[in-house]
Protein backbone atom coordinates (compact mmCIF):
# COMPACT_ATOMS: atom_id res chain seq x y z
CA UNK A 1 0.00 0.00 0.00
CA UNK A 2 2.77 2.31 0.87
CA UNK A 3 4.50 1.76 -2.45
CA UNK A 4 1.23 2.22 -4.35
CA UNK A 5 0.47 5.49 -2.53
CA UNK A 6 3.98 6.66 -3.14
CA UNK A 7 3.63 6.00 -6.88
CA UNK A 8 0.39 7.89 -7.10
CA UNK A 9 1.92 10.80 -5.25
CA UNK A 10 4.87 10.95 -7.66
CA UNK A 11 2.52 10.83 -10.67
CA UNK A 12 0.44 13.72 -9.29
CA UNK A 13 3.62 15.73 -8.64
CA UNK A 14 4.70 15.22 -12.28
CA UNK A 15 1.30 16.34 -13.61
CA UNK A 16 1.33 19.42 -11.41
CA UNK A 17 4.84 20.28 -12.56
CA UNK A 18 3.85 19.92 -16.24
CA UNK A 19 0.80 22.11 -15.68
CA UNK A 20 2.92 24.73 -13.97
CA UNK A 21 5.47 24.74 -16.80
CA UNK A 22 2.69 25.04 -19.41
CA UNK A 23 1.09 27.88 -17.44
CA UNK A 24 4.38 29.74 -17.27
CA UNK A 25 5.00 29.24 -21.00
CA UNK A 26 1.47 30.47 -21.87
CA UNK A 27 1.97 33.49 -19.65
CA UNK A 28 5.34 34.27 -21.27
CA UNK A 29 3.77 33.91 -24.74
CA UNK A 30 0.97 36.32 -23.84
CA UNK A 31 3.50 38.71 -22.30
CA UNK A 32 5.61 38.64 -25.47
CA UNK A 33 2.54 39.37 -27.58
CA UNK A 34 1.57 42.24 -25.30
CA UNK A 35 5.10 43.65 -25.53
CA UNK A 36 5.04 43.34 -29.32
CA UNK A 37 1.69 45.14 -29.45
CA UNK A 38 2.28 47.91 -26.93
CA UNK A 39 6.04 48.48 -26.94
CA UNK A 40 7.75 47.22 -30.08
CA UNK A 41 5.42 48.49 -32.86
CA UNK A 42 2.34 50.18 -31.44
CA UNK A 43 2.02 52.59 -34.37
CA UNK A 44 1.27 49.75 -36.83
CA UNK A 45 -1.60 48.39 -34.81
CA UNK A 46 -2.83 51.85 -33.88
CA UNK A 47 -2.98 52.69 -37.59
CA UNK A 48 -4.91 49.49 -38.33
CA UNK A 49 -7.34 50.23 -35.53
CA UNK A 50 -7.83 53.81 -36.74
CA UNK A 51 -8.45 52.54 -40.25
CA UNK A 52 -11.29 50.43 -38.92
CA UNK A 53 -13.10 53.45 -37.50
CA UNK A 54 -11.84 56.43 -39.57
CA UNK A 55 -12.14 56.65 -43.35
CA UNK A 56 -10.54 59.41 -45.41
CA UNK A 57 -12.51 60.33 -48.53
CA UNK A 58 -11.01 62.60 -51.22
CA UNK A 59 -12.67 65.78 -52.43
CA UNK A 60 -11.52 66.12 -56.06
CA UNK A 61 -10.64 69.66 -57.05
CA UNK A 62 -12.47 71.00 -60.13
CA UNK A 63 -10.26 71.86 -63.09
CA UNK A 64 -9.98 75.48 -64.05
CA UNK A 65 -12.31 76.78 -66.76
CA UNK A 66 -11.06 77.61 -70.25
CA UNK A 67 -12.26 81.00 -71.53
CA UNK A 68 -12.06 82.89 -74.80
CA UNK A 69 -10.35 86.30 -75.12
CA UNK A 70 -13.46 88.09 -73.82
CA UNK A 71 -13.96 85.77 -70.83
CA UNK A 72 -16.71 83.65 -72.39
CA UNK A 73 -16.64 80.02 -71.27
CA UNK A 74 -15.30 77.45 -73.72
CA UNK A 75 -14.84 74.57 -71.25
CA UNK A 76 -16.68 74.22 -67.93
CA UNK A 77 -17.43 71.63 -65.22
CA UNK A 78 -20.66 70.00 -64.09
CA UNK A 79 -21.45 68.14 -60.81
CA UNK A 80 -21.08 64.40 -61.01
CA UNK A 81 -20.37 61.22 -59.01
CA UNK A 82 -17.48 58.84 -59.45
CA UNK A 83 -16.83 55.54 -57.72
CA UNK A 84 -13.61 54.33 -56.13
CA UNK A 85 -12.67 50.84 -54.99
CA UNK A 86 -10.68 50.41 -51.78
CA UNK A 87 -8.38 47.45 -52.31
CA UNK A 88 -7.55 47.14 -48.61
CA UNK A 89 -11.21 46.32 -47.90
CA UNK A 90 -11.88 44.41 -51.10
CA UNK A 91 -13.66 41.08 -50.99
CA UNK A 92 -13.18 39.51 -54.43
CA UNK A 93 -16.43 37.56 -54.08
CA UNK A 94 -18.24 40.91 -54.32
CA UNK A 95 -16.75 41.82 -57.72
CA UNK A 96 -19.30 40.01 -59.96
CA UNK A 97 -22.22 41.70 -58.19
CA UNK A 98 -20.48 45.10 -58.24
CA UNK A 99 -19.70 44.77 -61.95
CA UNK A 100 -23.28 43.82 -62.77
CA UNK A 101 -24.80 46.61 -60.67
CA UNK A 102 -22.56 49.25 -62.28
CA UNK A 103 -22.77 47.91 -65.85
CA UNK A 104 -19.02 47.22 -65.90
CA UNK A 105 -17.40 44.35 -67.83
CA UNK A 106 -16.34 41.91 -65.10
CA UNK A 107 -13.29 40.67 -67.03
CA UNK A 108 -11.98 44.20 -67.56
CA UNK A 109 -12.40 44.98 -63.85
CA UNK A 110 -10.37 41.89 -62.93
CA UNK A 111 -7.78 42.72 -65.56
CA UNK A 112 -7.34 46.22 -64.16
CA UNK A 113 -6.90 44.96 -60.60
CA UNK A 114 -4.32 42.45 -61.81
CA UNK A 115 -2.40 45.16 -63.70
CA UNK A 116 -2.24 47.29 -60.57
CA UNK A 117 -1.05 44.33 -58.52
CA UNK A 118 1.68 43.43 -61.01
CA UNK A 119 2.81 47.08 -61.26
CA UNK A 120 3.31 47.12 -57.46
CA UNK A 121 0.90 50.00 -56.93
CA UNK A 122 0.46 50.36 -53.14
CA UNK A 123 -2.59 48.54 -51.81
CA UNK A 124 -3.70 51.55 -49.78
CA UNK A 125 -4.32 53.56 -52.98
CA UNK A 126 -7.99 53.27 -53.89
CA UNK A 127 -8.71 53.17 -57.62
CA UNK A 128 -11.40 54.90 -59.65
CA UNK A 129 -13.54 52.29 -61.42
CA UNK A 130 -16.31 54.45 -62.90
CA UNK A 131 -16.94 58.12 -63.67
CA UNK A 132 -20.16 60.04 -64.12
CA UNK A 133 -22.50 57.53 -62.45
CA UNK A 134 -26.16 57.51 -63.44
CA UNK A 135 -28.87 57.97 -60.81
CA UNK A 136 -29.57 54.21 -60.91
CA UNK A 137 -25.90 53.41 -60.30
CA UNK A 138 -25.71 55.89 -57.41
CA UNK A 139 -28.81 54.23 -55.92
CA UNK A 140 -27.16 50.80 -56.26
CA UNK A 141 -24.07 51.97 -54.34
CA UNK A 142 -26.12 53.66 -51.62
CA UNK A 143 -28.30 50.57 -51.19
CA UNK A 144 -25.26 48.28 -50.76
CA UNK A 145 -23.11 50.41 -48.46
CA UNK A 146 -23.19 47.89 -45.63
CA UNK A 147 -22.59 44.89 -47.91
CA UNK A 148 -19.76 46.42 -49.95
CA UNK A 149 -17.60 48.63 -47.70
CA UNK A 150 -14.93 48.66 -50.44
CA UNK A 151 -17.05 51.04 -52.55
CA UNK A 152 -16.44 54.77 -52.04
CA UNK A 153 -18.86 57.20 -53.69
CA UNK A 154 -17.15 60.54 -54.41
CA UNK A 155 -18.74 63.82 -55.45
CA UNK A 156 -16.72 65.30 -58.29
CA UNK A 157 -16.80 67.76 -61.18
CA UNK A 158 -17.04 66.28 -64.68
CA UNK A 159 -15.46 68.19 -67.57
CA UNK A 160 -18.06 69.74 -69.89
CA UNK A 161 -17.16 70.63 -73.48
CA UNK A 162 -19.28 72.45 -76.08
CA UNK A 163 -21.58 70.14 -78.01
CA UNK A 164 -20.54 69.28 -81.53
CA UNK A 165 -16.82 69.52 -80.81
CA UNK A 166 -16.51 73.32 -81.05
CA UNK A 167 -12.79 74.20 -80.83
CA UNK A 168 -12.03 70.55 -80.05
CA UNK A 169 -8.51 70.66 -81.50
CA UNK A 170 -7.75 73.83 -79.54
CA UNK A 171 -8.94 72.82 -76.07
CA UNK A 172 -8.19 69.08 -76.36
CA UNK A 173 -9.67 66.65 -73.84
CA UNK A 174 -9.03 64.97 -70.47
CA UNK A 175 -8.81 61.34 -69.46
CA UNK A 176 -7.49 59.02 -66.78
CA UNK A 177 -3.70 59.04 -66.51
CA UNK A 178 -2.34 55.86 -68.08
CA UNK A 179 0.21 53.48 -66.58
CA UNK A 180 2.77 54.59 -69.17
CA UNK A 181 2.19 58.28 -68.34
CA UNK A 182 2.70 57.61 -64.61
CA UNK A 183 6.36 56.90 -65.44
CA UNK A 184 6.77 60.21 -67.28
CA UNK A 185 8.25 63.21 -65.48
CA UNK A 186 5.23 65.48 -65.93
CA UNK A 187 2.82 62.91 -64.42
CA UNK A 188 5.02 61.24 -61.80
CA UNK A 189 3.27 63.06 -58.93
CA UNK A 190 -0.20 61.81 -59.89
CA UNK A 191 -1.98 58.73 -58.50
CA UNK A 192 -3.64 56.05 -60.66
CA UNK A 193 -7.14 57.10 -61.65
CA UNK A 194 -6.33 60.84 -61.68
CA UNK A 195 -7.82 62.83 -64.54
CA UNK A 196 -5.26 64.77 -66.58
CA UNK A 197 -5.11 66.69 -69.85
CA UNK A 198 -4.47 64.47 -72.86
CA UNK A 199 -4.37 66.89 -75.81
CA UNK A 200 -4.54 70.56 -76.76
CA UNK A 201 -4.68 73.28 -74.13
CA UNK A 202 -5.82 70.71 -71.55
CA UNK A 203 -2.47 68.93 -71.91
CA UNK A 204 -0.21 71.94 -72.49
CA UNK A 205 -1.47 73.83 -69.44
CA UNK A 206 -2.43 70.86 -67.27
CA UNK A 207 -0.37 72.10 -64.31
CA UNK A 208 -2.31 75.39 -64.30
CA UNK A 209 -5.76 73.90 -64.80
CA UNK A 210 -5.44 71.12 -62.22
CA UNK A 211 -6.25 72.05 -58.64
CA UNK A 212 -5.35 70.57 -55.25
CA UNK A 213 -7.65 67.85 -53.93
CA UNK A 214 -9.17 68.16 -50.49
CA UNK A 215 -10.24 65.40 -48.11
CA UNK A 216 -12.97 64.52 -45.65
CA UNK A 217 -12.44 62.21 -42.65
CA UNK A 218 -15.52 60.43 -41.37
CA UNK A 219 -16.17 58.06 -38.48
CA UNK A 220 -17.54 54.71 -39.66
CA UNK A 221 -18.87 51.73 -37.79
CA UNK A 222 -17.93 48.08 -38.30
CA UNK A 223 -20.27 47.91 -41.30
CA UNK A 224 -18.74 50.92 -43.02
CA UNK A 225 -21.62 53.29 -42.27
CA UNK A 226 -20.79 56.94 -41.62
CA UNK A 227 -21.30 58.04 -38.00
CA UNK A 228 -19.99 61.60 -38.16
CA UNK A 229 -17.41 63.90 -39.71
CA UNK A 230 -14.04 64.32 -37.99
CA UNK A 231 -12.13 66.61 -40.32
CA UNK A 232 -12.41 68.55 -43.55
CA UNK A 233 -9.79 69.99 -45.92
CA UNK A 234 -11.35 72.04 -48.69
CA UNK A 235 -10.27 71.41 -52.29
CA UNK A 236 -8.51 74.23 -54.14
CA UNK A 237 -9.91 74.61 -57.70
CA UNK A 238 -7.54 74.89 -60.64
CA UNK A 239 -6.93 78.31 -62.15
CA UNK A 240 -8.99 79.37 -65.13
CA UNK A 241 -7.23 80.04 -68.40
CA UNK A 242 -8.05 82.80 -70.88
CA UNK A 243 -7.06 82.15 -74.49
CA UNK A 244 -6.59 84.50 -77.43
CA UNK A 245 -9.37 82.64 -79.29
CA UNK A 246 -12.37 84.77 -80.31
CA UNK A 247 -15.47 82.61 -79.80
CA UNK A 248 -17.52 84.40 -82.48
CA UNK A 249 -14.78 84.04 -85.09
CA UNK A 250 -14.23 80.41 -84.06
CA UNK A 251 -17.94 79.62 -84.60
CA UNK A 252 -17.92 81.28 -88.04
CA UNK A 253 -14.82 79.33 -89.07
CA UNK A 254 -16.31 76.05 -87.81
CA UNK A 255 -19.50 76.66 -89.81
CA UNK A 256 -17.48 77.44 -92.94
CA UNK A 257 -15.68 74.09 -92.65
CA UNK A 258 -18.77 71.92 -92.13
CA UNK A 259 -18.69 68.79 -94.32
CA UNK A 260 -15.23 69.74 -95.56
CA UNK A 261 -11.78 68.37 -94.88
CA UNK A 262 -9.08 70.92 -94.08
CA UNK A 263 -8.05 73.62 -91.63
CA UNK A 264 -8.59 77.31 -90.93
CA UNK A 265 -6.26 79.48 -88.84
CA UNK A 266 -6.90 83.19 -88.19
CA UNK A 267 -4.06 85.27 -86.70
CA UNK A 268 -3.84 88.85 -85.51
CA UNK A 269 -1.16 90.30 -87.85
CA UNK A 270 -0.10 92.83 -85.23
CA UNK A 271 0.53 90.42 -82.34
CA UNK A 272 0.52 86.93 -83.85
CA UNK A 273 -2.27 85.89 -81.51
CA UNK A 274 -4.39 82.94 -82.67
CA UNK A 275 -7.97 84.20 -83.04
CA UNK A 276 -9.45 81.00 -84.48
CA UNK A 277 -8.17 77.52 -85.23
CA UNK A 278 -10.28 74.85 -86.91
CA UNK A 279 -9.42 71.37 -88.08
CA UNK A 280 -12.14 69.50 -89.93
CA UNK A 281 -13.47 66.89 -89.40
CA UNK A 282 -13.34 67.30 -85.64
CA UNK A 283 -14.43 65.14 -82.69
CA UNK A 284 -16.46 65.53 -79.50
CA UNK A 285 -14.15 65.74 -76.41
CA UNK A 286 -17.11 64.81 -74.16
CA UNK A 287 -16.73 61.20 -75.34
CA UNK A 288 -13.35 60.99 -73.57
CA UNK A 289 -14.60 62.14 -70.16
CA UNK A 290 -14.86 59.10 -67.90
CA UNK A 291 -13.34 56.79 -70.51
CA UNK A 292 -14.12 56.30 -74.19
CA UNK A 293 -15.65 53.07 -75.45
CA UNK A 294 -13.59 50.76 -77.66
CA UNK A 295 -16.03 51.20 -80.58
CA UNK A 296 -15.79 55.00 -80.40
CA UNK A 297 -12.00 54.81 -80.22
CA UNK A 298 -11.83 52.55 -83.29
CA UNK A 299 -14.06 54.95 -85.18
CA UNK A 300 -11.80 57.88 -84.32
CA UNK A 301 -8.50 56.15 -85.06
CA UNK A 302 -9.28 53.90 -88.03
CA UNK A 303 -11.86 55.98 -89.93
CA UNK A 304 -10.81 57.59 -93.21
CA UNK A 305 -11.54 61.12 -91.94
CA UNK A 306 -8.93 60.93 -89.13
CA UNK A 307 -10.78 63.38 -86.84
CA UNK A 308 -8.06 63.27 -84.17
CA UNK A 309 -5.52 64.66 -86.63
CA UNK A 310 -5.08 68.40 -86.11
CA UNK A 311 -4.68 69.43 -89.72
CA UNK A 312 -3.83 73.00 -88.72
CA UNK A 313 -0.51 72.00 -87.07
CA UNK A 314 0.09 68.29 -87.75
CA UNK A 315 -0.72 67.71 -91.41
CA UNK A 316 2.09 68.21 -93.93
CA UNK A 317 0.28 70.23 -96.58
CA UNK A 318 1.43 72.73 -99.19
CA UNK A 319 0.68 76.27 -97.97
CA UNK A 320 -1.03 77.24 -101.24
CA UNK A 321 -1.95 80.80 -102.15
CA UNK A 322 -1.31 82.25 -98.69
CA UNK A 323 2.42 81.73 -99.37
CA UNK A 324 2.41 83.75 -102.58
CA UNK A 325 3.02 87.16 -100.92
CA UNK A 326 6.23 85.74 -99.39
CA UNK A 327 7.45 84.60 -102.81
CA UNK A 328 6.63 87.96 -104.40
CA UNK A 329 8.37 89.83 -101.57
CA UNK A 330 11.48 87.70 -102.01
CA UNK A 331 11.52 88.29 -105.79
CA UNK A 332 11.20 92.08 -105.43
CA UNK A 333 13.70 92.35 -102.53
CA UNK A 334 16.36 90.31 -104.35
CA UNK A 335 15.73 92.12 -107.64
CA UNK A 336 14.92 88.83 -109.34
CA UNK A 337 12.08 90.83 -110.94
CA UNK A 338 10.88 94.43 -110.94
CA UNK A 339 7.44 95.96 -111.01
CA UNK A 340 7.42 95.90 -114.84
CA UNK A 341 8.00 92.14 -115.01
CA UNK A 342 5.14 90.38 -116.79
CA UNK A 343 4.17 86.77 -117.52
CA UNK A 344 1.62 85.44 -119.99
CA UNK A 345 -0.79 82.97 -118.35
CA UNK A 346 -2.63 80.69 -120.78
CA UNK A 347 -3.91 78.30 -118.10
CA UNK A 348 -0.70 76.43 -117.23
CA UNK A 349 3.06 76.11 -117.64
CA UNK A 350 5.73 73.39 -117.86
CA UNK A 351 8.56 73.23 -115.33
CA UNK A 352 11.11 70.43 -114.83
CA UNK A 353 9.34 68.16 -117.28
CA UNK A 354 5.90 68.52 -115.67
CA UNK A 355 2.87 70.57 -116.65
CA UNK A 356 1.33 72.66 -113.84
CA UNK A 357 -2.15 74.11 -114.26
CA UNK A 358 -3.36 77.51 -113.08
CA UNK A 359 -6.55 77.58 -111.06
CA UNK A 360 -8.07 79.71 -113.85
CA UNK A 361 -8.53 77.15 -116.64
CA UNK A 362 -8.56 79.72 -119.47
CA UNK A 363 -5.63 81.63 -118.00
CA UNK A 364 -5.24 85.28 -116.91
CA UNK A 365 -3.40 86.61 -119.99
CA UNK A 366 -0.55 89.06 -119.40
CA UNK A 367 -0.11 89.77 -115.66
CA UNK A 368 2.41 91.74 -113.64
CA UNK A 369 3.13 91.56 -109.88
CA UNK A 370 0.06 93.59 -108.88
CA UNK A 371 -2.41 91.68 -111.12
CA UNK A 372 -0.84 88.31 -110.24
CA UNK A 373 -1.27 88.93 -106.52
CA UNK A 374 -4.78 90.31 -106.98
CA UNK A 375 -5.96 87.31 -109.02
CA UNK A 376 -3.65 84.74 -107.37
CA UNK A 377 -2.26 83.65 -110.73
CA UNK A 378 -0.44 80.35 -110.31
CA UNK A 379 1.53 80.61 -113.57
CA UNK A 380 3.09 83.95 -112.56
CA UNK A 381 4.28 82.55 -109.23
CA UNK A 382 5.58 79.37 -110.86
CA UNK A 383 7.75 81.64 -113.02
CA UNK A 384 9.18 83.84 -110.27
CA UNK A 385 9.62 80.85 -107.96
CA UNK A 386 11.73 79.24 -110.66
CA UNK A 387 13.85 82.42 -110.87
CA UNK A 388 14.38 82.62 -107.10
CA UNK A 389 15.22 79.01 -106.25
CA UNK A 390 14.32 77.15 -103.07
CA UNK A 391 17.08 78.61 -100.88
CA UNK A 392 16.05 82.24 -101.32
CA UNK A 393 12.37 81.38 -100.90
CA UNK A 394 13.21 79.54 -97.63
CA UNK A 395 15.32 82.47 -96.39
CA UNK A 396 12.50 84.98 -96.81
CA UNK A 397 9.98 82.57 -95.31
CA UNK A 398 12.16 82.38 -92.19
CA UNK A 399 12.46 86.19 -92.10
CA UNK A 400 8.67 86.34 -92.12
CA UNK A 401 8.63 84.12 -89.00
CA UNK A 402 7.27 80.99 -90.68
CA UNK A 403 9.98 78.84 -89.09
CA UNK A 404 8.77 79.73 -85.59
CA UNK A 405 6.14 77.61 -83.83
CA UNK A 406 2.92 79.50 -83.11
CA UNK A 407 0.73 78.34 -80.22
CA UNK A 408 -2.74 79.17 -79.02
CA UNK A 409 -1.18 80.89 -76.03
CA UNK A 410 -2.92 82.42 -73.07
CA UNK A 411 -3.84 86.04 -73.01
CA UNK A 412 -4.51 86.25 -69.30
CA UNK A 413 -4.72 83.84 -66.41
CA UNK A 414 -7.81 84.40 -64.34
User: Is residue 393 one of the residues assigned to a domain?
Assistant: yes
User: Is residue 347 one of the residues assigned to a domain?
Assistant: yes
Residues 6+ apart with CB under 8 A from 201: 66, 170, 171, 172, 241, 243, 408
pLDDT tens digit sequence for 104-133: 888 888 887 887 777 666 776 777 888 888
Q: Which domain holds residue 27?
A: 2-40
Does 163 have pLDDT greater than 90? no
Does 394 have pLDDT greater than 80? yes
- Is 193 in the same domain as 324? no
Q: Tell me the C-alpha distance between 403 and 394, whole Å.
A: 9
> What radius of gyration do the chain's Cα atoms show?
35
Average pLDDT over residues 340-361: 93
- The reported pLDDT for the residue numbered 410 is 46
- Is 12 in the same domain as 107? no
Share of the chain above pLDDT 90, in %: 40
- Is 78 in the same domain as 182? yes
**Long-range contacts of range 358-364, CB-CB < 8 Å, 24 or more positions apart?**
none
Residue 171 CA from chain centroid, whole number:
11
pTM (2 d.p.) = 0.68
Domain termination residue (choose one: 242, 263, 293): 242
Give yes or no: 321 in active site: yes
- Is 67 in the same domain as 132? yes
From the candidates 295, 321, 350, 406, which is the catalytic residue? 321
- The reported pLDDT for the residue numbered 45 is 52
User: Is residue 269 one of the residues assigned to a domain?
Assistant: no
Q: Tell me the C-alpha distance between 62 and 156, whole Å.
A: 7
Q: Higher confidence at residue 85 or residue 393?
A: 393
- Is 63 in the same domain as 194? yes
Q: Tell me the C-alpha distance between 129 and 110, whole Å.
A: 11
- Is 86 in the same domain as 170? yes
| Number of separate domains in the chain | 3
Domain termination residue (choose one: 222, 242, 262): 242
- Is 79 in the same domain as 223? yes
pLDDT tens digit sequence for 177-197: 887 887 888 887 887 778 899
Residue 343's CATH number: 3.40.710.10
Amino acid sequence: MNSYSSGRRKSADVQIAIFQYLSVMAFLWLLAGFWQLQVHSPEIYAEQAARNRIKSLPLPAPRGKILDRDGRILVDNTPSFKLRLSRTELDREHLPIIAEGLNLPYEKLLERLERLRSSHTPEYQAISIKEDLTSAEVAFVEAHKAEFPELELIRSQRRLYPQGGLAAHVVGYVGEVSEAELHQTEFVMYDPGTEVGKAGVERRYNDILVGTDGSRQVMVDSRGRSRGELGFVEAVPGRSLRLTIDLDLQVVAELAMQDRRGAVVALDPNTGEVLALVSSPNYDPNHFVGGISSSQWRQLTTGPDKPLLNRAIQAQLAPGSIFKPIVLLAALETAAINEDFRVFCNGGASHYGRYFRCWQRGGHGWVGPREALMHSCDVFFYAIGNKLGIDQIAEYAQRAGLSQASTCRTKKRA
